[in-house]
Amino acid sequence: MSEPFIREAQVQEIVFTHIRRALPALGTRPISPEATIEQLGGHSLLGAEIANAAMQELRLNVPARELAAARTTSQLVDLFMRHMGR
């Protein structure tokens, strides 16, 4: 990532932005950090697409096995933070 000190809130916003792009029916409703993609109206393949889009923006490469274990949006953010060394 070009920004050396990205904060967790920034990573969360990136993830939420990609969720909103993939699920436009959410509109401006709040996204709970504890929500799963399924609870937000998506499916597992869409979840993988969201994770991949966020990883591209963050310039991360997280193994699929680890991504599969991240069920909630907060778990996905935590996983990304660990892979960024934070």
Q: For residue range 49-86, what is the model confidence (pLDDT) as tens digits?
A: 999 999 999 999 999 999 999 999 999 999 999 999 86
What pLDDT does residue 4 have? 57
1, pLDDT greater than 50: no
Burial 59-85 (b: 16+ CB within 10 A, else e): ebebeeeebeebeebbebbbbbbeeee
Whole-angstrom CA distances from 11 to 25, 53, 60, 70 are 22, 12, 12, 15
Query: Which amino acid, residue 25?
Result: A
Higher pLDDT, 79 or 5: 79
28, pLDDT greater than 70: yes
Pairwise CA distance, residues 37 & 60, whole Å: 20
Pairwise CA distance, residues 83 & 61, whole Å: 8
